[in-house]
Structure 1
């Protein structure tokens, strides 16, 4: 699964004045409280956005196990395309017609759905009976304004993937831990191997580690200030521009992701900032095919704060607030995210669990799960704003201009901040 702001770039500005029809429904499931889980009955619909060919069979099999455990509940399983599910769900929730009871939701959409009252708060429900086992990064993605709106299902983040053979040839014994080391290592690799150090992805999701590493972010909800053009953000993007100018292969802006992947997996660049979703593709290339041990994993380099940080990605299970059967929906969300289910999902799909107990020896025999397990400690959620997806659109436009040298870093970020102001009523530009 490809992840990045290619997802967010498709999101248009949010209409904050919209009233969620789903929010006006209490759900008939709340009218009477069953005595026990075994008393709960009825049919619920589950929208699964996993890959239809490689991942969906695992989820379908788990649904069968759920129905066997709760024979009075029938689940209408539907696999919905990840690229279209956001608008499809918004339309259904807004009109109150055709929305699923449970939906696999990208973590970046939780604040927006919650602010529109499309999804139900889960605190104190059967969906969230045990949160102590969840790793903190994924659990933080479920929060909005002090309430919990999702159950962590699968997770990911960005890390540094590198070609060990090229490192060895360049005389580099360990991956870089700072961006200055990243640039210096790229210079050594180029001199010793003729291969560029990296391929800069101009998608702004991949800019987030540099922003976080300087203590920067898009905006600050606590002070209601737009911060994308403050000194810390300018420093982060200046570093990104330096990496692009000194260390990157030539970027094809029309097809950057595919070209980035091809150059790395075929050994034509030495390092990438990437996520675990890319590994199954990486190991098909000439640099790693039959030699998966050549693929190295490390945390992203740190900025001047000295702390390596990357955005938490993945999916949470959410429950439609207008569901006619909330009790059954809560049970399904809990079952699909329990430790046993997460172990099954991890072993069969290669995605990272969100529960500590799910990282069993059997699960971590998968190299990418083992490689990213410690990297997940660097993960932190994106700023919890309903408009966060929309903010990436103007930032993306300006970031490309900055990389291409059409505007200065400060001018580009100032322009993005002004566009942010149109999407964030009541916010000032810091």
Structure 2
């Protein structure tokens, strides 16, 4: 679900994971009667399980099939962790779906190096000028394009204005020390400060990643990707601040076993007013409404606070978006569908509905939600941008970040052990 900016096909075609799925689609015949195209089945893997995208993307798929009667789209729809696990399994076997959701970065690069992803540069050259450079950046390597974006955004704190008011908090915290003080105030007021999906691990890594950005700076994270060393003092300090937060016991009861989009998970806890904050991406409001009731006008947003004395800028953003990549052996109709999904007329409808943020030039006016407008403004003003660490780094390193930070939050690893564990895996990937 997370970063669940991607897509869903016609409901009657969603039958769960399709065993043995590989690229290339299925063709009943290479050529139909009278020279018409043969029938093609496209396997489409993605992870959008909440509204509004669930319905919007289903409609796009139906429309595409209506325009291309020789094409059938079959979707495999999975929650975030299950999606990543299944995609890893299929790509390690040397196959890839015809069309699949990607966050770009190091994971996509490994799939490219394995020969599993189609170079779209020539096929999409006519539409590339329509996209913002920031939205495209995660899918371009060595001057070539391997995917088209469907969303871009950043992670920040979504908060319940009524809970803040009840706790005597007049404005969102601008510094980390003020944030920790506000956590204490919320607890004193009998309010659970933070909702967290501890079971799924990736939401927890946001805290360590942002604190590393604020304390060590963006350049240090980029350097770590090169020298594979996360044991430097600033990275340990990031872990110490995560521990300082966890020591306040700010999360909801049972958070270690909580999912993200489940009825009793992080988004529902926030959307049902049972916690004051969650650190999450631009899709949070939609997921809060899908998993819970939603907060309406009581929902607010603020960027991750600055850390006093840190080398990073509060203008540096952490996040990413979502895109669509095409398997190497997929038929040309797969590329046609990706281009169809990102046409202005189609994509702007998703922006208007609050499901995604603009990736096309000129879409800004389609953002209607006040909080999402704030996110879009922050994106436009960012001084630097860091892709999710579990996507920016190779898969094994990203998974270790998630696992180690989860152990830190759970109290079974020290900040020093977290830095050491991540470093060991990073060096083993050299």
> Which of 394, 397, 415 is the aligned partner of 1:388?
394
Instruction: Tell me the residue number matched to 2:117.
Output: 119
CA gap 1:236/1:40 in 2 versus in 1, 3 angstroms: farther
Which whole-Å CA distance do the structure 1 matches of 2:313 and 2:286 have between them?
A: 31
Number of aligned pairs? Answer: 382
Structure 1 residue 169 corresponds to structure 2 residue 166: yes
Corresponding residue SS for 2:191 = coil
* 1:96-140 C-alpha deviation (Å, 9 max, x unpaired): 77x5433333435422221211112222x2324243443444322
Structure 1 residue 415 corresponds to structure 2 residue 421: yes
CA gap 1:75/1:90 in 2 versus in 1, 3 angstroms: farther
Instruction: Tell me the residue number matched to 1:226.
Output: 228
CA gap 1:137/1:130 in 2 versus in 1, 3 angstroms: same
> Which of 252, 271, 276 is the aligned partner of 1:265?
271
Instruction: Tell me the residue number matched to 2:375.
Output: 372
Deviation at 1:314, TM superposition (A): 3.2
Q: Check conservation: 2:267, 2:291, Cα contact below 8 A.
A: no
Which whole-Å CA distance do the structure 2 matches of 1:349 and 1:269 have between them?
A: 23
* 1:182-205 C-alpha deviation (Å, 9 max, x unpaired): 1132234444x3324334555343
Instruction: Tell me the residue number matched to 2:11.
Output: none
Instruction: Tell me the residue number matched to 2:314.
Output: 307
Which whole-Å CA distance do the structure 2 matches of 1:266 and 1:64 have between them?
A: 33
Corresponding residue SS for 2:362 = helix
Instruction: Tell me the residue number matched to 1:77.
Output: 73
Corresponding residue SS for 1:269 = coil
Which whole-Å CA distance do the structure 1 matches of 2:287 and 2:99 have between them?
A: 30
Q: Check conservation: 1:49, 1:80, Cα contact below 8 A.
A: yes
Which whole-Å CA distance do the structure 1 matches of 2:287 and 2:251 have between them?
A: 20
For structure 1, the 5+ residue unaligned runs are: 5-20, 26-38, 426-430
CA gap 1:278/1:386 in 2 versus in 1, 3 angstroms: closer
Deviation at 1:284, TM superposition (A): 7.5
Deviation at 1:164, TM superposition (A): 1.1
Which whole-Å CA distance do the structure 1 matches of 2:390 and 2:280 have between them?
A: 23
Deviation at 1:294, TM superposition (A): 0.7
Corresponding residue SS for 2:128 = coil
Alignment of 1:11-410 (within 5 A): 43=40, 45-51=42-48, 54=51, 55-66=53-64, 74-83=70-79, 100-107=97-104, 109-123=107-121, 125-191=122-188, 193-199=189-195, 202=198, 203=201, 204-207=204-207, 208-214=209-215, 215=217, 220=222, 224-246=226-248, 248-249=250-251, 252=254, 253-255=256-258, 257=260, 258-283=264-289, 292-303=296-307, 304=310, 305-323=312-330, 325-326=331-332, 328-348=333-353, 350-360=355-365, 363-367=366-370, 369-377=372-380, 378=382, 379-382=385-388, 388-410=394-416
Q: Check conservation: 1:210, 1:236, Cα contact below 8 A.
A: yes
RMSD: 3.8
Which whole-Å CA distance do the structure 1 matches of 2:205 and 2:49 have between them?
A: 25
CA gap 1:59/1:40 in 2 versus in 1, 3 angstroms: farther
CA gap 1:213/1:222 in 2 versus in 1, 3 angstroms: closer
Deviation at 1:259, TM superposition (A): 4.9
Which whole-Å CA distance do the structure 1 matches of 2:288 and 2:150 have between them?
A: 24
Tell which has more relative contact order, 1 or 2 (C-alpha 8 A, sep 6+): 1
For structure 2, the 5+ residue unaligned runs are: 5-21, 25-34
Q: Check conservation: 2:252, 2:275, Cα contact below 8 A.
A: no
Corresponding residue SS for 1:297 = strand
CA gap 1:164/1:86 in 2 versus in 1, 3 angstroms: closer
TM-score, with structure 2 as normaliser: 0.74
